[in-house]
Structure 1
Amino acid sequence: MALDWGFELLKGLESLFLNPLFYYLFIVAIILGISRVKRERKQFHVRAKDAFFELRQLLPLGFVLGLILSVVTIGVGLVIPIETIIFAALFTFLWSLTTNFRFLSPVYTVGFAFFATLFFLSKKWSLPLIESHTAEWNSSILPSIAALLGLLMIAEGILIFRNGRKGTSPKLIKGKRGLRVGVHEVKRLWMLPLFLIIPGEALKASFEWWPVFSVGSQTYSILLVPFAIGYYQQIQGMLPVKAVQQVGKKVIVFGSVFTCLSAVGYWYPLASIVITALAIIGRELLSLRQRLAEDNLPFYFSQRNQGLMILGVIPDSPAEKMGLGVGEIVSKANGITITDEESFYEAMQKNRAHCKLEVLDINNQVRFVQRALYEGDHYQLGILFVQDEKMWDDESMVFVQPNHKSFS
């Protein structure tokens, strides 16, 4: 029996490479990275991360979570209509066209697919090339879709908490008073491949090799389905890592509560409709509350009297090797007190071969870092600051570099 299941799972793996969404998500991740690099180069004349950073984040953690959730979904016997999978893919494509990646949360893709499936099957419609065994309306299919949505929301929270905090992108915007301030942006896309049990033969007989097995008098297929999970957050009032982790924890708790509530549907199937609707509303309120709380906070990355706030650190640069971090304040350079970016560059010119900085860390503790500078060092020092307003051209919004730009 175990050997048969293993064989069916291996055959189900092939379905992943027949799914157009699998390839589409790779393309979207590449476009996401390229657009981020263009914005960073426009504002800082250097990129914080390379253009393939988002692509590298697309699959690894999602693959691990997908394996874990596959064991759960198959173990508890969740049977998902093929219509739901198709509608979830269609909504993923549609929401991705808005370029607002928070709409790629499972609650907006699988949640809307839940109601589309409900409407579609109630009309007794059928899809071309699909051999559906759910053409007759049956409320017993609803709890499994709701449970799947809950599990995907838990995975979403874990991905935000564990991966969303990595590589947040520095960004310059105009604050409420019209002054230039810094924020951090998280725009991320993950793929979560998940083995699902589908009632009946997923495709018609032209695909003879499709994995099909029987339990009693019922016939089922196993598919490996790629689910997209997107996330967007603009952080202005606190350190990016802390802000993203807070959201991740809230989504995990919300997904866990919803998963528990979805179990009610197995006793009262129609309750799944109300529970899923509440999930969509609740997730939207969670996002709205987070944005309102963020808007009410003062800008963390703004110009400070005691020095220069570090908005970003270039990977593999001398600044990163010296242990400088986002949110720290450079108060002195080569023994000279820093008041603005111009004074920082002038202080760095005092000694082109050596850099000694006095830094106020995120715990308000003073520490000293130093390093020899060599010609050809990657991006020289590698620090991104909140630029002075006078260094911007108001019409083109393109950063005008100072004379001593090589040290930043």
Structure 2
Amino acid sequence: MKILLVILAFFLQPVLWIGVIRAYLNGRTRMKRARSQFNTAVYEKHYEFRHFWVSLLVLGIIISLISVLVGATLPLDWVVIYEALAGLSLILIPSIVIPVLIMIVPSLMMVLMNYHSSTIASQNYVLIAGLIILALGMFIGFNGGRYNVPRIFRNERNNRIAGYPFKELSVFPMLVMIPGNIMRHVISFYPTFMVDGHRVAFLLVPIMIGLRLTVFKHQPRKVFRKLGNHLMVIGILGMLLAVASYKWPILVMISLPVLLLLSWFALYRAKRSDLKHGDWFSEVINGVRIVGIEPGTPAAKMNLHVGDVILNVNHKAVHDEDSFYEALQDQPTYCRLRVINTNHRIILTNTAIYSGTPHEIGVVLFRTSNL
């Protein structure tokens, strides 16, 4: 019964349901924009919604186990301030800075107010920061760039270019301990437990993570996996700093802003690396640029990637979307492509296509009617 009350308390917290609504709306907006620019949603299913719930379950279990094993204890005031900031940020636009920032702010407030006791050491705030950054890195590394839905932009030369936005979030439960007497004072019937001679209450705190980042010049999956790895390293560093701060308490005040700056720098480095190197995925004169590949279609089996340029189809040169599909009509059940990939190497690939429906080959190209 006590465990059920702890779980129920998590599902009653508004941050969770604001996050659910936000994830659903992100998917709706993505599909609506794709249909207007390419006449297809590219990915019909709400993968943002699926990633939300999978991450909630998986990250909730992993981070909660670590939190309980190290005995992370937080004051109820931290939870209240954090949830208020998390709810506000979910109403606005999530980015990498906001999830880390809203976790750092209440922690710094607690440290500055010297808010600790025999059951709440200030080192806990650094530990929690490291755990949340670790979870953020895992979330981005696993989900980022897995589904590349293009969006058309204009660069500084007013050329149309394809960008690949990642705009996802999740809310996962992190199990922490709250001083039992404080929790009982607020909610008299809330269950408490004896741990190492102290009465504590276990609380599943809804932790918000998310990122908004658009990749323009690299394969998105590589960019997000690298960014996720960097954040996981920063998260592990945070936990090591928490351990070191028991010997050097001054590290608590130093570690929190350092972790925030390192997280921001990881994002800045990822964006800068993408924009400073490589070519825009723009329209080309000779051939047609692939800006997306629909899953479960013939194109998905042809070793094609976003950014590749199709030079000819069925031995016919192509220069726009219309000429591409006209060439497909010559052999409506078979497709042979000559492609130059993003490494500037020419490859040949072929596949059978759906009889009488060449438009279902699954290649997403620039449309004449795009912005």
What is the TM-score normalised by the length of structure 2? 0.89
Write the letter of the residue equivalent to 1:141: A
What is the root-mean-square deviation of aligned Cα atoms in Å?
A: 2.7
Alpha-carbon deviation of 1:14? 2.1
Residue aligning to 1:367: 348
* Match of residue 233, structure 2, among 250, 253, 277: 253
Structure 1 residue aligned with 2:155? 175
Cα distance change, pair 138–278 in 1 and its aligned pair in 2 (3 A): farther
Alignment of 1:70 onto 2:51 = no
Q: Specify the alignment match of 2:105 in structure 1.
A: 112
The equivalences for 1:34-113 within 5 A come to 34-50=28-44, 52-105=46-99, 107-113=100-106
Q: Which moved more, 1:159-168 or 1:239-248?
A: 159-168
The structural deviation recorded for 1:204 is 4.3
8 Å CA contact 2:18–2:90 kept in 1: the answer is no
Amino acid aligned to 2:220: P
Q: Which residue of 1 aligns with 2:19?
A: 25
**Could you tell me whether the CA contact under 8 Å between 1:170 and 1:312 is conserved in 2?**
yes
Q: How many pairs align?
A: 370
In the alignment, what sits opposite 1:13?
7
CA distance in 2, matches of 1:365, 1:140: 62
Question: 1-side partners of 2:45 and 2:334: how far apart?
Answer: 31
Are the equivalent residues in 1 in contact too, given 2:126–2:241 (CA < 8 A)? no
Secondary structure in 1 aligned to 2:74? coil
1:269 aligns with 2:249: yes
Q: Distance in 2 between matches of 1:247 and 1:371?
A: 37
Pair 37,103 (structure 1): closer, same or farther in 2 beyond 3 Å: farther
Distance 1:142 1:60 in 2: 32
The CA distance in 1 between the partners of 2:302 and 2:23, in whole Å, is: 31
Of all paired residues, the percent bearing the same amino acid is 23
Tell me what 2:138 maps to: 158
**Structure 1 unmatched runs, 5+:** 1-6, 123-133, 398-408
Amino acid at match of 1:284: W
Alpha-carbon displacement from aligned partner over 1:102-156 (angstroms, at most 9, x marks no partner) = 3443x2121112123345x56xxxxxxxxxxx6x778953210110110111121
Query: 1:191 maps to what in 2?
Result: 171
CA distance in 2, matches of 1:292, 1:163: 21
Any idea what the Cα deviations from partners look like across 1:331-366, whole Å, max 9, x if unmatched?
221221223333213312323344332334456351
Q: Could you say if the C-alpha distance between residues 198 and 204 of structure 1 is closer, same or farther in structure 2, counting changes exceeding 3 Å?
A: closer
SS in 1 for 2:121: helix
The alpha-carbon deviation at position 312 of structure 1 amounts to 0.6
The residue that corresponds to 1:129 in the other structure is none
Residue type of the alignment partner of 1:13 = I
Residue of structure 2 equivalent to 1:347: 327
2:235 aligned with 1:235, yes or no?
no
TM (norm. structure 1) is 0.82
**Consecutive aligned runs of 4 or more in structure 1 exceeding 6 Å deviation:** 136-139
Match of 1:286 in 2: 266
Question: What is the CA distance between 1:216 and its match in structure 2?
Answer: 5.3
Q: 1:220 to 1:172 in 2, by over 3 A?
A: same
Q: Which runs of 5+ in 2 are unaligned?
A: none
